[in-house]
Amino acid sequence: MDGLLIDSEILWHEAEIEILGGLGVPLAVNGCRTTKGMFVQEVAEYWYGQYPWDGPTPGEVAVAIVDRVIALLLAKGELKSGAEHAIAMCAARGLPMAVASSSQYRLIDVALGHFGLRKHFALIHSAEDEPYGKPHPAVFLTAASKLGAVPRRCLVWEDAPAGVIAAKAASMACIAVPEEGEGHHPAFGLADSVLGSLFDMDDDRWAAVVRHHFGPAGDPL
């Protein structure tokens, strides 16, 4: 969801720099990218391990970060370019869809409701229900199980290196849409297709993803 359907990465950066910076963590945007794709509790624990602070626990800091992201999203959040186009391509093929996210359920619910996207998804699954966040594949595997889908016949859309690694570890096809300036990360080399924008996805690229994932004689997604 974050950074793929919703242009929220900049909001996460703003919230983390504001809240963690206030606790003495010398954080800038490049530092935020270090923890991209991780569950927010893991982010708070990571930075606490690097720069221990007095006062709130990492868990309390994680709650504050999510509260701030929700406020920022409602104030100035936007859909990513091509989000509705990508959803429509999946819907046209009759594919059941799920949101499998590192965000907490309360943020997912607010975001999908705010942008009117909830109706498109059969289910929502958050990494807060898993023992490990991305790049561990658990969030994707559980979402597939809830959909009644075989993992190898699932397609993941991702913007984060950790998410691409998780998708391929789950034996799923993966379309990557890196944030501007992040496409150099070696993890994107694992993806079945790398796009500059969700609008770049078309029938020819879809067919190429299927061929890359299954081979020339493979089953269609």
Q: Does residue 136 share a domain with residue 90?
A: yes
- With contact defined as beta carbons under 8 Å apart, do 21 and 27 qualify? yes
pLDDT of 29 higher than 70:
no
Q: Does residue 165 share a domain with residue 104?
A: yes
β-strand partners of 194: 176
In a domain, 220, yes or no: no
pLDDT the model gives residue 167: 98
Q: Does residue 98 share a domain with residue 14?
A: no
Q: Does residue 53 share a domain with residue 94?
A: no
Q: Whole domain around residue 26: which residue ranges? A: 9-76
- The structure's pTM equals 0.88
Query: CATH number of the domain that 145 lies in?
Result: 3.40.50.1000
Residue range 49-98, pLDDT digits in tens: 999 999 999 999 999 999 999 999 999 999 999 999 999 999 999 999 99
Domain boundary pick from 47, 76, 105: 76
Domain boundary pick from 41, 76, 111: 76
- With contact defined as beta carbons under 8 Å apart, do 138 and 132 qualify? yes
Domains in the chain: how many in total? 2
Q: How far apart, in whole angstroms, are the C-alpha atoms of residue 69 and residue 139?
A: 21
Q: Does residue 51 share a domain with residue 88?
A: no
Q: How far apart, in whole angstroms, are the C-alpha atoms of residue 154 and residue 162?
A: 17
Domain boundary pick from 76, 107, 127: 76
Q: How far apart, in whole angstroms, are the C-alpha atoms of residue 193 and residue 212?
A: 8
